[in-house]
Structure 1
Amino acid sequence: MTDPTLPPVLAEIRDDFLALGERDRLQLLLEFSRELPEIPVRYQSAPGLLERVEECQSPVRAFAEIDGEQRVHLYATAPAEAPTTRGFASILAQGLDGLTPQEVLDVPDDYPLSLGLTNAVSPLRLNGMSGILTRAKRQVREQLAAA
């Protein structure tokens, strides 16, 4: 499944999910939950800098930052006791990392639905992942407008 607007890392993640059966997709999501990158120290000491993702049932915070080289980094926190949500945050943190602002803005809004998890996790949880992506895009737009 090729999609010219989907960055290679996100396409690879999607393809990895779709190559598996439903039960194994959930296992892969749990693996991602264990791989959520640590947030930088500057955010650890000021977690309020990360925006609360209201669509998530669990307390998830996220912030997309454009660095000096015009590359995006998504930082997120999600509790270990919410592995599904943490997995979604990890997928986006890893999948958006290092992209240009335009590449992030071009990620299809329905990317979370393309992972083949609609029968494995609740619509509320998928909505949470969409909320993280929506916020990342808005934050990128805001930073571009302020520059």
Structure 2
Amino acid sequence: MTLPDALADIVSDFAELADSDKVTLLLEFAGDLPALPESLEVEAMEPVPECQSPIFLSVDASDASAVRLYFSAPPEAPTTRGFASILHEGLDGATAEEILGVPSDFFHDLGLASVISPLRLNGMAGILTRIKRQVTEQTAA
């Protein structure tokens, strides 16, 4: 599996933890999701309906050597915020090629399947799929 270094480090951190500690780390990530820049409004962002909670994302791949990712997820949805924060920390600033090379099922290596419902994990897959689609569309133009 080829992952950008930052995302590989996150996967490694999760892999070393017991299940209860994985939940704690996911919640810590939820608290670390950066706020949106003032220039970006949620209404202009893409919704991710695969998630059980409302989450919106925006990708700026105008510089394919440093793709920028932006997320909006409510504080009352810590699992969704945690997923978004993991993807932000692991992929923000990565190249378009690195992002497109992330396996669509990489999140299984986080080891959350035993503590998070499959429906929630599908939400993370949906977020990654939409990021990749936006990167593809923006770099093809």
| TM more than 0.5 | yes
1:41-79 C-alpha deviation (Å, 9 max, x unpaired): 111xx3222100010010100112114463111111111
1:89-128 C-alpha deviation (Å, 9 max, x unpaired): 0000111111110000001100111100001000111000
Mapped partners of 2:47, 2:67: distance in 1: 19
Instruction: Give the partner amino acid of 2:21.
Output: D
Match of 1:13 in 2: 10
Match of 2:37 in 1: 40
Match of 1:135 in 2: 130
> Could you tell me the TM-score, scaled by structure 1's length?
0.92
Mapped partners of 1:140, 1:28: distance in 2: 28
Identical columns (%): 54
Counterpart check, 1:89 vs 2:89: no
Mapped partners of 2:91, 2:3: distance in 1: 10
Note the aligned Cα RMSD (angstroms): 1.1
Moved over 6 A (4+): none
For structure 1, which segment, 64-73 or 48-57, has the greater mean C-alpha deviation from structure 2 after superposition?
Answer: 64-73
Instruction: Give the partner amino acid of 1:40.
Output: P
Mark the runs of 5 or more structure 1 residues left unpaired by the alignment: none
Instruction: Give the partner amino acid of 1:8.
Output: D
Instruction: Give the partner amino acid of 2:94.
Output: L
Match of 1:25 in 2: 22
> Could you tell me the TM-score, scaled by structure 2's length?
0.96
Mapped partners of 2:62, 2:36: distance in 1: 15
